[in-house]
Amino acid sequence: MSTTIRSASVAPGPLEAADELNRRLRTTRTEPALSPQLEALALAVTANQPVLLWGEPGIGKSAGMEQLAAGLGLELETVIASVHEPSDFAGLPVVGDDPAVTGVPMAPPDWAVRLARTGQGLLFFDELSSAPPAVQAALLRVVLERRVGSLRLPEAVRVVAAANPPSSAADGWHLSPPLANRFVHLPWTHDPRTVARGMAGTWPALGVPVVDPARVPGAAARARGAVSGFLTARPGLVHHMPADAESRGRAWPSPRTWDMALRLLATGYAAGAGREAVASVLTGAVGDGAGIELLSYLEHLDLPDPDRVLADPDAFALPGRGDRQLAFLIAVVAAVQGDLTRERWEAGWAVLAKAVDAGVPDVAARAAVDLAAMRNLDWPVPPGIDGFLDLLRQSGALPRGD
């Protein structure tokens, strides 16, 4: 006797319509929109500098990370710093057969292994200000050296963190100065009009700055000239740690953060980033006081492209102001160093000679020493070096027989 099994129709569950409703509400679109806040975040991530977003709970920091990862085409790995132990970042010891021979490696967590296997990604540390001091200390190596246990994360992995002000964080702590000094600090706020439009189903698209390869050499040289020239004029801003705990947990100037500012400024030049975004990341690196002074300096600097000047040094006129002269000559030497040939080296001396002709050889003194140190011994001494011979011989950059 054959038995026929009849399939019974499955009745819809009581939550199926509710799930469909939620799916519809999750369907949104994006539109181009100007947002200096989003552009500053994307600029810092493009420059591969660790970013820390400060904002109140519930204003969309995590959603911004999802949008950023999608715009960059990267996988997002989110780690809630406040619920981890120090060993989760320093690694757990794994004892092998013979520790005296092989040592005891520190095993990394699964998210670090996934990032290392992929070779790139966006690593997002959330609730950083709720992490106790011991966890913050363990994060130092992850942020600066990209080491998690015995594993080194690839350079292409970008690091972003988010924190609530200690007053609004659950069991909030001030960030330790060593950890705070490793981040570009950006405020994260909400725009009521953007939120209202988002509730209608349309959110702003995140535009990712694109570095123009043709601009790279000139951008690097201009940024070196600008930052080095500024710090030469304001040496007291090279390192200044604030006195109070709250300010030490934010952005402040140090050699490390000036290096971050250099990279951010060069990326901004090479990508043609907007002024507001560049201003945000620079103050986010070195703090408001030093950052505002730097921005004022840059606004009046207006350096020409050093590569164009090296291509035709005779057509170039030295700027009239001393600060512009110093910054530009440093930029010229940096451009020569970036692509060192005999022709460019000799053109560099032709540019520096204009400082002698203008009666300000002291402005070009440091640039002359650096340029002389790049000389190939087979290259003859160019005419433009004549005004610096005594200085170079005293510094040892030029043998006395030359």
Question: Which of 79, 42, 54, 105 is CA-nearest to residue 264?
Answer: 42
* Mean pLDDT of all residues in 97-109: 72
DSSP line for 298-337? HHTT-PPPHHHHHHSGGG----SSHHHHHHHHHHHHHHHH
- pLDDT tens digits for range 301-352: 878 888 989 999 888 888 877 788 889 899 999 999 999 999 999 999 988 8
Between 358 and 261, the more confident residue is 261
Collect all residues with Cβ–Cβ distance below 8 Å to 227 and sequence separation of at least 6.
258, 261, 262, 265, 294
The two tokens of residue 143 are 């942020």
CATH topology of domain 51-93+102-182: Rossmann fold (3.40.50)
Question: Which of 342, 339, 395, 341 is CA-nearest to residue 368?
Answer: 395
Q: How many CA atoms lie within 13 A of 159 on its CB side?
A: 23
Residue 337's pLDDT is 93
Residue 392's pLDDT is 63
Tell me the three-class secondary structure of 26-90, residue by residue: HCCEEECCCCHHHHHHHHHHHCCCCEEEECCCCCCHHHHHHHHHHHHCCCEEEEEHHHCCCHHHH
Confidence of residue 356 (pLDDT cuts 50, 70, 90): confident
Residues in the chain: 402
Q: Is the confidence at residue 4, as pLDDT, over 70?
A: no
- pLDDT tens digits for range 237-280: 999 999 888 889 999 999 999 999 999 999 999 999 999 999 99
Q: Where are the beta strands (DSSP E) in 66-218?
A: 76-80, 92-93, 106-107, 121-126, 147-148, 151-152, 157-163, 184-187, 202-204
Question: Which of 353, 326, 325, 318 is CA-nearest to residue 228?
Answer: 326
Task: Calculate the CA 348 to chain-centre distance.
Answer: 30
Count other Cβ atoms within 10 Å, centred on residue 334.
Answer: 20
The amino acid sitting at 226 is: A
The percent of residues above 90 in pLDDT, for the chain, comes to 40
Residue 169's pLDDT is 53
Confidence of residue 295 (pLDDT cuts 50, 70, 90): very high
Q: Is the confidence at residue 231, as pLDDT, over 90?
A: yes
